[in-house]
């Protein structure tokens, strides 16, 4: 299963990118320093978990062969749509990381799961705020 690193890399990128979008909303639109800090810490924790295999992840990339390039994303009409789409992206990406990282490290799976549940809590806070 050589492509496991490619799969891990794609989902790590997906989760970090989604967290960055949410973090920027917290920072620039809500001016919420605490929430911004929590999101940044989660994003950095994802990187820490994968730090030892990061070179392998990058080497596994094949963006020119990615069959997902032609998949179109849904339309975003407002801030809620952007936030909801990015929370889905983060949670789904972390779930894949949680499952497949266990092929490399049981501990990594546990750490990803903790992050995923922290994201659920932040999502509840933000959804409550904008509803």
Within a domain: residue 36? yes
**71 assigned to some structural domain:** no
What band does 1 get if pLDDT is binned at 50, 70 and 90? low
Q: In this structure, is residue 22 part of a structural domain?
A: yes
98 inside domain: yes
What is this structure's pTM?
A: 0.92
Residue 72 placed within a domain: no
Q: Over the stretch 2-52, which tens digit does the pLDDT of each residue have?
A: 689 999 999 999 999 999 999 999 999 999 999 999 999 999 999 999 999
Q: How far apart are CA 63 and CA 75, in angstroms?
A: 23
Q: Of 38, 65, 49, 68, whose CA–CA distance to 8 is shortest?
A: 49
Q: Indicate the number of domains in the chain.
A: 1
Q: How far apart are CA 105 and CA 43, in angstroms?
A: 19
pLDDT tier, 53 (very low <50, low <70, confident <90, very high otherwise): very high
pLDDT at residue number 2: 63
Residue 69, token pair as written in the block: 């390039």
Range of the domain at 32: 4-61+77-130
Q: Residue 49's closest CA among 120, 99, 98, 89?
A: 98
Whether 93 is in a domain gets the answer yes
> Considering the domain boundaries, does residue 70 fall inside one?
no
Note whether residue 66 is domain-resident.
Answer: no
């Amino acid at each position: 299963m050589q492509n496991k690193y490619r799969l891990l890399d794609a989902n790590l990128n997906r989760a970090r990118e989604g967290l960055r979008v949410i973090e920027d909303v917290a920072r620039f639109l809500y001016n919420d320093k605490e929430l911004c800090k929590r999101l940044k810490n989660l994003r950095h924790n994802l990187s820490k978990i994968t730090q030892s295999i990061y070179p392998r992840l990058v080497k596994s990339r094949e963006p020119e062969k990615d069959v997902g390039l032609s998949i179109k994303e849904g339309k975003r009409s407002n801030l809620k749509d952007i936030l909801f789409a990015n929370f889905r992206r983060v949670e789904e990406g972390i779930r894949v990381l949680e499952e497949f990282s266990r092929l490399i490290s049981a501990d990594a799976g546990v750490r990803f799961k903790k992050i995923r549940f922290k994201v659920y809590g932040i999502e509840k806070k933000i959804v409550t705020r904008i509803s």
